Structure formats: C-alpha cells, structure tokens
Amino acid sequence: MPPFRCPRRLIAGVAVAALAAVAACTHESTAPLSSGSTNPALSLPEANMMGEAVAADAQNELDGATLSSGMFLPGLGAPITPFGSGDFCMPTRSPASPANADGDRVPDSVRIAFTGCGFAAGTEADTVRGTIDIVDPTPAVADRSVKTVFTDLTWVHVRDGKVRSLVVNGTRETDRDASVISQIEKDFKSTYTFPDGSTASHDRTWNSTFTADAAGSIQPDAPLPSGKLSIDGTSTWTHGTNSYSLTVSTDPVLHYNASCSARPKFDAGTIKSTVTRNGATSNVTIAFTACGQFTVTRS
C-alpha cells in the first residue's frame, strides 16, 4: 500500500490542534452554588477538568466533518498531498485504490493508518498513531452520507517536559449537504491523560448539527466554513474512581469561526452540562468568549 508523506508542519497541526483544548486554553471561574445546593456533585478542580474535556470534544465534533475520500483528516486545515523526501510521517491508505460502487465521493471502505508519525521543535514534541476507517453506509446509493470509525487514534503532546494525550475510539455517522451537517455518535469514547499523570474518560452519545453561515458553502474534503453548532446528548465522565452522569446541550448554540488560529475554534455560544453523582446535582457551564478562550463555571 503506498504511503502519503506528511510534512512536519502537517503532523504538528494534527497533534497540537487535537490537544489544544486539553492544554487548558481556558479562563476558569466559579459561580456561587445555587440555593440549597450545599452538596455539589463535583469539586471545582473536577469541574475545570471536565470543562476542558467537553470543550475539546465539542471541537472534535467538527474534525473531519467534510471527510469523504480519505484525503482529509481530523485536525487538518487542508487535504493530505505528497511532499518531499525530508518528510518523515507516512500515513498509509488501505486498500490503495478503494472500491466505490456508487461513484459518490465516499469510497466503500478505506483505512488510514498512522505509524511512526513524529514532530519535535524546541521543548515541544508530538506523535500521532492509530487508524481511521472511512465507510460508505449506503454503497449502492450515491449520496453524501459517511461513517467514520476511529480506532485508538492517539495524539501525544509534550511541552516543557509535561505530557498530555488524547485517545479517541468510536463511530460517527454523518448525513450532510452543502449547507447542513448532522451527526450521530453512540458510545463514543475519548480518553485523556493530564500532565499530573491522571486519566479521565468521556463516553458520550451525542447528536450534533452544524449549519454553515453561508448556505451552500460546505464542500467535500475541504476546510469547514464558519457556522453554528448545536449539541445535545448524554455522557459519562470518569476521573479516577469518580464517575459523573452528564446531560449536555448548547444554549445559545456555538459559533464556529473558520478563521480562528486557536482551538477550540468557537468565538461565541455556551455548553451547558447538568452533572449528577450519588444523588447530588451541579451545573457546569462552558462559555466561549473568543477563539481558543472560554470560561468554566460550576453552580
């Protein structure tokens, strides 16, 4: 199977983009507990960590949302193209020439595998590994539906000797046209490792809808245009021995700004999570204020 060469800047874009929200690009604050809420469901540190992870997963909803032919991958701002011999990350596509029975933009099935992908600059280093399967759920009908399967897709980011990582597993089913992208995730799992060595997981069943600001501007295998993202669903957040049940919604909906250079690429909107554990309930609110900036509050 022939490889695709990726330059250092490309792999850096994958890893740094995926981990930007986990790397705590946040301004955190705490709202007073609501009247009668003397027993919060989670501590302030837990609320802040949860906020970072949920923000990262909201951004992840849009990674690869236009992916069709296997040449545009999550976290990238442009399709993969061959580069010079100095490049040292070589994701492979299998089969090299996948079948496409209905002739639409989505092959019947193709796997992109990352092995030996690395980047280092100064005190920072990134690695990427794992696989992405792109599957046409309707191989006999030419349409714009696609199923994307993530298997141990892992980003590891090292900065000043501190390591963060994100591992993604699960299936995302997408139905889209040139103006709207609708997605369904069931039992989709993100696993985080924070600089202190602690781990957390977020198992979610989410529905999301992205509506482009400019009708007709969504194109297959092209960067996503600006638009609005709504999310609703349920999930389980686990950190250490503690597990929390979440009900998540967006009110107001998030605004994705395609021109943002920092992730999450939302410049407005709010994610609201109702968190329950052992009969106690708290509200965790993530309010986006500018590109890569948001506040986390617990009440």
DSSP annotation string for 188-204: EEEEEE-TTS-EEEEEE
Rounded alpha-carbon distances, angstroms, from residue 17 to 148, 168, 224: 19, 14, 15
Predicted pLDDT of residue 39: 82
Q: Rounded distance, CA 222 to CA 71, Å?
A: 10
Mean pLDDT computed over 29-36: 42
Other residues' Cβ atoms within 10 Å of the Cβ of residue 39: 11
| Position 47 confidence tier, pLDDT thresholds 50, 70, 90 | very high
Q: Rounded distance, CA 225 to CA 145, Å?
A: 19
**pLDDT tens column, 183-239:** 999 999 999 888 888 899 999 999 999 999 999 999 887 889 999 999 999 999 999
User: What are the extents of the domains in the chain?
Assistant: 8-298
Mean pLDDT computed over 125-151: 89
Predicted pLDDT of residue 269: 98
Q: Rounded distance, CA 53 to CA 288, Å?
A: 14
8 A C-beta contact, residue 279 and residue 270: no
**pLDDT tops 50 at residue 3:** no
Q: Give the global pTM.
A: 0.81
Other residues' Cβ atoms within 10 Å of the Cβ of residue 85: 6
**pLDDT tens column, 233-266:** 999 999 989 999 999 999 999 999 999 988 889 9
| Position 64 confidence tier, pLDDT thresholds 50, 70, 90 | confident
Predicted pLDDT of residue 69: 65
**pLDDT tops 60 at residue 12:** no
| Position 55 confidence tier, pLDDT thresholds 50, 70, 90 | very high
8 A C-beta contact, residue 79 and residue 67: no
User: Of all helices (H) and strands (E), which one includes residue 95?
Assistant: none
Predicted pLDDT of residue 191: 94
Predicted pLDDT of residue 158: 82
> Among positive and negative, which fits the CA dihedral 258, 263, 268, 269?
positive
Exposed/middle/buried for residue 292 (C-beta within 10 Å: 0-12, 13-18, 19+)? buried
Q: Rounded distance, CA 273 to CA 232, Å?
A: 10
User: Of all helices (H) and strands (E), which one includes residue 15?
Assistant: helix 8-19
8 A C-beta contact, residue 233 and residue 205: yes
Enter the tokens of residue 123.
Answer: 């005190």
